[in-house]
Each structure stands twice: as C-alpha cells, then as structure tokens.
Structure 1
Amino acid sequence: MRGSTAVREIVQHVHPKYHITSRGGDGTRGDVFYQRLPYVSEVAGTGRKQLTRLIGLSGINKVKDKTRKYLHALQVVPFAQQSAEERQHVDIPAGTTQNPYLHAMLDEATLRTGEPDAKRRKVDPAATGGLSTEQIEQLTAKSRGDAQFFYDQKLAVKGLRKGGLLPGEQQQRRNHRPAVPERTECWFCLSTPTLERHLIVSIGQEAYLAMPKGAICGDHLLIVPIAHEASTMALGEETWREMERFKAALRRYFASQDKELLVIDRNVATLGATHCHLQVVGVPKAMAAAARRVFETEGEKYHVKFEELPRDADEKADAAAPSTGPLELLRRHAQDKPFLYAELPDGEGGSTPLLHRVEGKHYVQFGRHAAACLLEMPRRANWKFCVVPKPEEEKLTQSFKSHWKPFDFTLEGVDDEE
C-alpha cells in the first residue's frame, strides 16, 4: 500500500468505520474515485471486530464522470446512537479482507530482513479474503456501481474460510485459531453485563420478550431464546414451545386491538456471536390482507422468492399443549440451508407460512424492509432512523408492558397452563 507511513501506522491501532483518502490537486493527474472492498480489524483488548470501508476520492475537477468523483455522501450514525447489538454484531460482506495496512507493514519488515523474492511475493490468502484476483475485481466493480449492500453467502463463506476468518476443516485439524477471534460477549444473552435490560418486557423459562433498538413502531418486538444459539433450528423443543406460546399470546393481544401478527425468522450465517430471535410486528387488520402481496412484490426487487409451506404440522398439533409450531415444517423444507421464514397475516385472523431458501446474494434486512413497507413506513426499514434516547425507550417499554400485562403468561405460576 502506498501513501503516508504515519497513516499506515495509525490505522493499525485505530479502526474507523470509514477511511477516506484523496490525492488532492485538480484531478488531472490520472487519479480516480476508488471504493475498496471493506476490511476487518480487531479492536485490541476487546475482541470486538470493526469493519472499515476505504474510499479514495479524486482531486477536485469539473468532469462529469463517476470514476472521477471528488464528493461522496455518507449516512453516518454516531457510535453513541448505535444499539449494543449493532456495536458488536458485524455482518461480513463477500470479499472482506484483513486490514491491508497490517500486511503492508509486514511486507516492509520482510523487505528489510532481505528474505528471498519468492517468499516476499507469496500471496497471503488473508490479504484477499481467500478470493481470487478475478473475484476481487468483480466484487469491487459491483461495490462501485451499487450502494445497496447485499450479502453473498457462498462467496463470503468461501472467502472467510480461506482467509482464516472462519475456521474450516483444515484449519481446525491444524489447530489454527481464526485470524480475527470470535467476540466473547453476546448482546442478547441475559448474563451479558451490558444487556439493555430496560427494553425487556417479559422473561419466561426458555425465552423472553423485548422491544428492539430502533423499532419500526410501538408494536414491533423480539422473541429471544434464553439459550445462546445462532439458529432457531438448533433450539430444543421446550424453547420452541415457549416461543410459540409468546406468539399465541401476542396474537390475542393484537387481536384485542384489531391487529394481526407478522413473524420473521432470519437464519443467515454471519461471523460472530449471533443469537437467534424472532421479530414480531402487530399489523392493523386493514393492512394485514396485503402482507403477502407486499412481501412478494418487494421480494422481486431483492431476489427473494417465497414458497408457501403446508400447515399440516400445525393442524395435527396437540391442542392440549403448546405446539412447536414451524419447527417441523422448517426441518423438512429448509434442508439445512440458510433461510428467511415469515408468517404473514391474511386479514382474516389466520397466517400464511412462507420460506425463502438463501442461495447466493441476500439482502439481510429484507424482512424488516418488507414489514416497514407493509406498514407504509418505508423509511423506518433502517433501524438507524428509528433510534430514540434511552428515557423514551424506557417510556415506550413501560407503556407496552402495561397494556400487555393481561396477556402475559410469565406472570402466572410456572406450573399453570393457559
């Protein structure tokens, strides 16, 4: 990497979200606008990962050419306004590399030691995220032409494994530790000291109900298993039953307000201590009938293709006990693949289970995006536009709890059944 040695040394220890460079001048020296593939660094002493996007601006010019941009708009959310989950949970895009400045400094040190040229020129897979030069160029071209972030499951996992960011079978056999260690704290585990407990609504034996950070609306909640699992597919049947019990209680609660329940389960592998959960939203009955149309219409824009699942598992469930709900359905139909699952209200008090199997690119926030569109609040698809100060979060949570109390089964005796 060319440029200032001082800057290279600084970015080994400081890990900004954006790193913007410019050659200055009048843009006539052949310099171009360049947006590098993102790179990931570990924050010393915390195990936290930080994703940095490097943007190189052209010098100021009067040419109407996107490759010569000298201005670039960013939507920056201050760290203090980010949720605890957002600060710790890092989605790793396809092609993400290790910090190139670390490799640049190591290369300089190697040159000073006078090692043979062959060794100096050997490509470190971690420096390219495990992807070939052709793939890197292809992804870079995509990043220049489309500001919308997509997650490419196949390329990302391939690159992370080869680059040492994800421990593959060979690395496990060789007892290699990942180049970037897994973070040790989970922001949904009740034992985490920094858990934002003021957002918790109810705590059961196997799961709890909470308001999300930056909710779409006052009827947007999370059903979170107490056990730490990355996927709902890994949860035990007792946990599923209690999560279904939360869903049933929420259906009754929203029905009392002439609303219906929408449920979203996103099961996409990401790097880090992911804690699975269900997003649930109360949808006014007048809007509920349009849920499937909105999800499928938006799905066409983002390559999300839904399949309607049969509901025989629910129909055969023992009415005397809480059902495990979609567990059997998903185990049969997801086929151990990443998926997006949604239970969409139909406007008549029922629901339609839809499944999208993730293969290739996937817009990770699609579920929230579609729900926000259904509620005619498209700008609230991004949680960053919805964050409010802690006192207001506390007020919203307490308000929901007061209305939810008559439906809250966790306030009953542990042996009571509804």
Structure 2
Amino acid sequence: MATPPRILLCGDVLGRLNQLFKRVSSVNKSTGPFDALICVGQFFADFSDRLDELLEYVEGRSQVPIPTYFIGDYGIGAAKFLTAASKGSANQGFKMDGLKICENLYWLKGSGKFNLHGLSVVYLSGKQSADGQPFGTYSQDDIDALRALAEEPGVVDLFLTNEWPSGILNRANTSEAPPGISNSAGSDRIVSELATEIKPRYHIAGTKGVFYAREPYSNDNAVHVTRFVGLASVGNKDKQKFIHAISPTPASIMSADEIHAKPPNTTLSPYAVVEKTLQPEDTEKQPSGSVSEAQYWRYDVPQKRQRQGTDGEKLCFKFTSSGSCSRGENCNFRHDMDAREQYLRNVCFDFLNKGKCERGPDCNFRHSLADEGESVSHKRHRSDNTDRSKDCWFCLSSPKVESHLILSVGDNYYCALAKGPLIQDHVLIIPIEHMPHTLSLAPETDTELIRFKKALKRYFKTQGNEVVFFEWIFKHGTHANLQAIPIPLSKASAVQDCFISAAEKIGFEFGVMNSNNDVSEGRELLRLHFDGRLSFFYVELPDGTILSHSIKDKEKFPVQFGREVIAGLLNMMDRGDWRYCKLSKEDEMKMVEGFKKRFEKFDPTS
C-alpha cells in the first residue's frame, strides 16, 4: 500500500506569512517531507502594515515552501488580491481544487470538494454573515452545494471550515475544553448542520484562537468516527499550537475493518446531545424548551423559515435526487416532482434551482429542460448517452472504469468483481452497452446473460454454495448491473423468508413468479411483468423462484435493499453498505486473479 499523505494543518494566519512559512520550512526539514499545508480561519492580516509580506510571495521574491491551501478569504487586502487572482487566465472556469494566487499558494473559493493526494477534501470558505460581502463570507448556494456533495457515495476525509461548529463543546460527552471559550463565540450552527450531513473523518476549524483536539465521536448512520481539531492563530501570545500534522490513509483505499475501527475514547456525536442547561449568552437565540443552540435548527422550523425568507423557493436536493426527504413537510426547501423528473432526465440541479450553473461546459449534465413529450424508447437511445458513458463506472470505454475488476467479457455482457464486495466472489453481470437495466436490452441478448448465470451457478456449486441474483431497476437509471452473491447451501432454503420478512417491515408485499427453475422462462416472466413505467426490484432465488416489486414514484425503497437482506441472512449487517467494504486496489487484483483461475473452466467466453 502507498504511504499515506502527510498534511500540515494551520489556524488563523492573520497575514503573518513569514513567521508561518519559516516554521513550516523548519518542520518540513526536521520531520518531513509534508505534501501540503492547509490553513483555516482568517488568512489575511488585520492591519495594512502586513501587506508587504504577502506582496513578497505574490510577486515571487519569496517562495511558499510547500503547496498551501487556504479558506479564510477575509481581512485587510483580501478583496484586492483575490479579485486580481480571479481574473487570471489560469483561474478561469469552474475550479474546486483552488485558484492560484502565486506559486504553491491556492485559494479555496466558496465551497467544494477535491482530491488531495488521495484524500477527499470538502471545504466551506469564509464565515457566516448577513452583509453579502463579495469576499470572506459564504452564500446559501455554497451551503446547498455541500448538501449536494453530502449525498454522493464515499467517505469524506477532511472537512475544512473557518468557524467551529456550534455544539462541539457539549460537556455531556467530552473532556474539559480549553478555558475561556464557549460554544457561542466564533461558532456557527450551519457548520454543525453540514458536519452532521457530510460526516467527515476529520473536521478542521480556526477562529477561536486556541488548540483543541476533541475525542473522536461516532456519526449517525455511518460506521466511521469523526475527529475535530481546532487550531490557534499563528504567533499567538499564549503559545497555543497553531500547526498540527496528520497522516491519514485515504478512506477510498481503507479496508472495512479500518473504516469501522472506533478508538476506546470514542464518544457520542456532540450534535445528538440535547443540553438541559443553556449558556446565558445563548438563551436569546433559543426557541422555547431545552434544545441546545447547536440543535435548534432541527426543530425550530417556523423561526428558521422566518430568518431565511426565500429558502422555500429553492429546491430540496435530497427530494430532487432521491424522491424522499426525512424532513417532510418541515423542510424549508421545495419538494417539486416536475423538477425531480427533469433531474432524472439528466438536467443539472444547479440549472433547475438557480437557472444557471457555474461549471459551464465542465458540467456533465444538461443545461436545458428535457422534452416532456420524449418517449421512453427515445430517451433510452438519445445521443447524450455517449456523453454520460464518459463518466460511467461501468462503461468499458469510460476513463473511470476500473478495468482491474473485470473477470470475463462476452459480446453483450461482461462480469466484474463488485466494488466493496459483500463477500468473496460477489460478482456483477453488466451490459457492455450503456443501458439502464438488463430488461432494456434486446430479448436475444438474454441468451448470453443466461450462459453467464448458469456458469456462475455451476461454479458456486463447486464451492459449496448456491447463488442469489437481484437487480434494482431505477426508472431513469444509468448503467445496469445484475448482482450475483453466493450463499452457503445450508442457508438457501431461508432466502425467500428473509426477503418476504424484510418487505413486510418496510410495508410492501412481493409478487411471486415460479419459473420451474428454468432460467430462460424466468427472463420471459420478468419481461412480461416489467412495463418500464415504474422502478422495479426483483430477486431470483436458488430454486428459480422470482420475487418482484414495482416501486411507486413516492415510495421509499432502500437503495441497497437486496444487499442488506443477504447481509442479514449471513449475519454480516455491518457489511450492508458497499462503501464501507472497499478494498485496496492490490487486494482487489488478488481477488480477481483468484476468481479467474477458479472460474476458468466454467467461463462461457473461454
């Protein structure tokens, strides 16, 4: 495995660049090398007499020792320098990985997400303000963008904010905080809200002028913990720590056991704690009752609406992307089915929400409304399929396809090891063409699909296993994949009961089709029962019985339902989400090579 990146973290710089970079150079020489420096809190000076230091670096007379990123875009000179940088030719277009100020110095503007030496980094630049200043404050659009990013799969490694999250100092479940600081001054309830949604492994903040490394805390609906680190300002009189080094392995290459690991001092999430006693300075902010300042945004909907005013005109990203929102009628944002329909037709969310998209030509989505009268068949084959396939994980022509996972390639289908497999030999059967589900391919292609399924059945038998096949057909899906998961022979008879019981718990009943253990007949039955108008889930049991369910537009149906049921059957509930079962590329390659050797004599393409 590659060496984890080594990152230096710094609090408010306040224009003291010479002092900062002298210290960084010293640390880099004695304990480095380090890959990057990240600065949170106010980056620019409080007084104009420090502008000369910045000019030395901007004009090239002094050198920034290592790549440095900052989000605190406020202070004396910020508007002047950042306006000039924004106009530079190298900084045109939509750039989330930093606008270049000078060699090795980058401004993280607004909000965004980028990859830093394998680490997934999310940031919110500036601080909360009602003044609408062009620099140094974040906007509602920046918040909405982060909420959208929080919906994306994968674990965020670093979350960067200038101000601390309100509630992080809740005493109910953490050790003594540094003296002289409270939850209120220099804290931001919006940051708390975003932290609970993004669930980063590390949350880094400045502005309070003290160093504070909180015990790790657990997250709701996530298996990994979060570590909060607050940093002091450069050159502070109390000699508080303003530089801190970390060397985290990127979550994307961590094993499930590593992701799941919880240190002995792990606490509950500070944002899940309701304090019984409010701090005096917080009481005027509170709604009636005993909900802490960090938490009242969850409950005080009328006050929030009154404060934000126009938010109700904006679209709710969760509802638009998934069809459901846990806040329901209490959500401050609009739940619009027409917008959701356009989103499912590949129209850009920012375009739907704001009428424009800053990504411009770099955006992978449509910046025009889809034709309402477009037929299902025409949507299936329209020309922008080619554009979508460029960013598709499953298209063999895509630069994003992970070709090392491929096991066998036929004329219409190929087999690949599942990313984040539930167990060893968890296989996907995937159409080569960019199609939304296997039933959207021509019926004659079923012949090859059936050959793959029969070959897998024979192979798994030699391993002492049966196999369960299932497919989640999303009405406007992207690229189909039929999942094949082996289960022990001893558990084969229990599969049907497990699926039926799970269905009852979330409020639906499966339709049952009996194919007489004939795979060809099973495909014909599926084509008869699937009309293409609704989303559809089906599972083929070891004895050939098919359970199916048509999913209504507003129905809540778990995205990983099939996997979660089988994980429960195998007593592996902690592996129900593929994102927490990722393997290193090296381990994936070993699994693929082992499968190929064992499967070779069964492979229908050999």
Please, what TM-score do these two structures have when normalized by structure 2? 0.44
Code of the aligned partner of 1:341: Y
State the Cα distance separating 1:376 from its structure 2 match. 1.9
Superposition pairs of residues 17-416 of structure 1, within 5 angstroms: 39-40=147-148, 57-59=165-167, 60-61=169-170, 73-74=218-219, 75=222, 78=250, 80-81=252-253, 127-128=315-316, 138-139=327-328, 141=330, 157-158=340-341, 160=343, 164=352, 167-169=369-371, 184-269=390-475, 274-311=478-515, 324-336=520-532, 337-345=534-542, 350-359=543-552, 360-411=555-606
Code of the aligned partner of 1:40: A
Q: Does structure 2 conserve the Cα–Cα contact (< 8 Å) formed by 1:202 and 1:408?
A: yes
Distance 1:215 1:131 in 2: 28
Q: Percent identity?
A: 29
Q: Does structure 2 conserve the Cα–Cα contact (< 8 Å) formed by 1:372 and 1:381?
A: yes
State the Cα distance separating 1:299 from its structure 2 match. 2.5
What does residue 147 of structure 1 align with?
A: none
State the Cα distance separating 1:374 from its structure 2 match. 1.6
Structure 1 pair 389–168 and aligned structure 2 pair: CA distance change class (3 A): same
Query: Could you list the runs of 5+ residues in structure 1 that have no partner in the other structure?
Result: 24-34, 42-47, 84-120, 144-151, 173-177, 316-322, 412-418
State the Cα distance separating 1:263 from its structure 2 match. 0.2
Structure 1 pair 247–139 and aligned structure 2 pair: CA distance change class (3 A): same
What does residue 113 of structure 2 align with?
A: 15
State the Cα distance separating 1:80 from its structure 2 match. 3.7
Code of the aligned partner of 1:239: T
Structure 1 pair 171–335 and aligned structure 2 pair: CA distance change class (3 A): closer
Query: Could you list the runs of 5+ residues in structure 2 that have no partner in the other structure?
Result: 1-70, 75-95, 97-106, 115-120, 129-142, 174-188, 197-217, 225-248, 256-308, 353-364, 375-383
Structure 1 pair 198–342 and aligned structure 2 pair: CA distance change class (3 A): same
Deviations 1:147-170 (A, max 9, x none): xxxxx9969835847963884435
What does residue 98 of structure 1 align with?
A: none
Q: Does structure 1 conserve the Cα–Cα contact (< 8 Å) formed by 2:512 and 2:547?
A: yes
Report SS of the residue matched to 2:471: strand
Structure 1 pair 171–57 and aligned structure 2 pair: CA distance change class (3 A): farther
Distance 2:586 2:394 in 1: 20
Distance 1:257 1:130 in 2: 42
Structure 1 pair 218–283 and aligned structure 2 pair: CA distance change class (3 A): same
Alignment coverage as a number of residue pairs: 323
Distance 2:339 2:508 in 1: 18
Structure 1 pair 260–377 and aligned structure 2 pair: CA distance change class (3 A): same
Distance 2:557 2:113 in 1: 27
Deviations 1:324-360 (A, max 9, x none): 5544322322332101110012xxxx22100011121
Structure 1 pair 130–311 and aligned structure 2 pair: CA distance change class (3 A): closer
Structure 1 pair 5–385 and aligned structure 2 pair: CA distance change class (3 A): closer
Report SS of the residue matched to 2:148: strand
Moved more, 217-226 or 230-239: 230-239
Q: Does structure 1 conserve the Cα–Cα contact (< 8 Å) formed by 2:112 and 2:124?
A: no
Please, what TM-score do these two structures have when normalized by structure 1? 0.62
Moved more, 53-62 or 255-264: 53-62
Report SS of the residue matched to 1:290: helix
Deviations 1:82-125 (A, max 9, x none): 99xxxxxxxxxxxxxxxxxxxxxxxxxxxxxxxxxxxxx98896
Q: Does structure 2 conserve the Cα–Cα contact (< 8 Å) formed by 1:38 and 1:54?
A: no
Code of the aligned partner of 2:424: G
What does residue 93 of structure 1 align with?
A: none
Q: Does structure 1 conserve the Cα–Cα contact (< 8 Å) formed by 2:319 and 2:340?
A: no
Structure 1 pair 13–50 and aligned structure 2 pair: CA distance change class (3 A): farther
Distance 1:131 1:410 in 2: 43
Structure 1 pair 298–131 and aligned structure 2 pair: CA distance change class (3 A): closer
Code of the aligned partner of 1:334: F
Distance 1:153 1:244 in 2: 41
Pick 1 or 2: higher relative contact order, CA cutoff 8 A, min separation 6.
1
